[in-house]
Amino acid sequence: MSSEGGATAYIVHHLTPLTVGEGFWTLHLDTLFFSAVLGGLFILFFKYVADRATAGVPGLAQNIAEMLVEFVDTQVKDSFHGRNELIAPLALSIFCWVFLWNAMDMLPVDLVPDIAGFMGMGYMRVVPSTDLNSTFALSLSVFFLILFYSIKVKGVLGFAKEMTCTPFGPWLMPFNLMLKLVEEVAKPISLALRLFGNLYAGELIFILIALLPPLIQPLLGFPWAVFHILVITLQAFIFMVLTIVYLSLAHEEH
């Protein structure tokens, strides 16, 4: 096999998910597994902190949890203008879960796939946010909440009026409806593609660095890893903030 062919096969292997089923019913087992494990870690961490919370001198875990809660609470207070007790816990869950998804990108490229190969599994993609299915699933969940609260707060008639009479008034209902449909559909698409695109590109760069000679890898890998810490945090933050903003718009009665 040529070096170019070997490099292509290496890249394809690392970006191919472990699947079962065919067609529409294909399941990406690695994405489902790591998403469930990371979600469980998030829940267990906050439960651990809640069970051992103290008003005295807090430990490291309590400090981290309090910083995250205060950070998310500040973003909700600044961006959400309605009244809904679900928004802050939802925003905290989204930020932490997406951050943990993205943080899997910091593991050595060959570590988990080699372990999976030793166990007889041919493929293993460890970063859930490099799977378009997972980012779309999360963005669609947010989209359904947007529709639910838009109808709940405004009423069916108010929601229909907003979709057909803004921004140009009732005389241009078909044009208004077309614009509003594009605007609403663009929300989950932009959420999903932004997260997927940034993390997929980041993972691809790590894979390309892994193809370089061993002496060169640390020279490029370490600076990229340091910069990538900002990327994974920023993408989790953007997903959370846009979710808050979209749900705030859904709660505006006017």
Taking residues 173-181, what's their average pLDDT? 89
186: tokens are: 């663009």
What is the per-residue pLDDT for 1? 38
Burial-class residue 24 by CB neighbours within 10 Å (0-12, 13-18, 19+). exposed
AA letter at 124: M
Between CA 125 and CA 16 the distance in angstroms is 6
The C-alpha angle 133, 21, 7, rounded to 5 degrees, equals: 65
**Cα–Cα dist 179/182, whole Å:** 5
The H or E element that residue 234 is part of is: helix 217-250
C-alpha to C-alpha distances, 180 to 147, 186, 254, nearest whole angstrom? 13, 10, 16
> Before 167, cis peptide (omega within 30)?
yes
> Considering the entire predicted model, what is its pTM?
0.91
Distance of CA 74 to the CA centre of its chain: 20
Phi, psi of 20, rounded to the nearest 5 degrees: -145, 145
Place of tokens 């469980």: 40
Residue 167 has pLDDT above 80, yes or no: no
Task: Considering only residues 55 and 27, tell me which one the structure prediction assigns the higher pLDDT.
Answer: 27
Average pLDDT value for the chain:
90
Active site residues: 190, 194, 198
Q: Which of 184, 179, 91, 191 is nearest to 146 (CA)?
A: 184
CA distance 76 to 88: 6
Asked whether residue 82 carries a pLDDT value surpassing 90, the answer given is: no
Query: What confidence score (pLDDT) does residue 2 get?
Result: 43
Residue 200: pLDDT band by 50, 70, 90 thresholds? Answer: very high
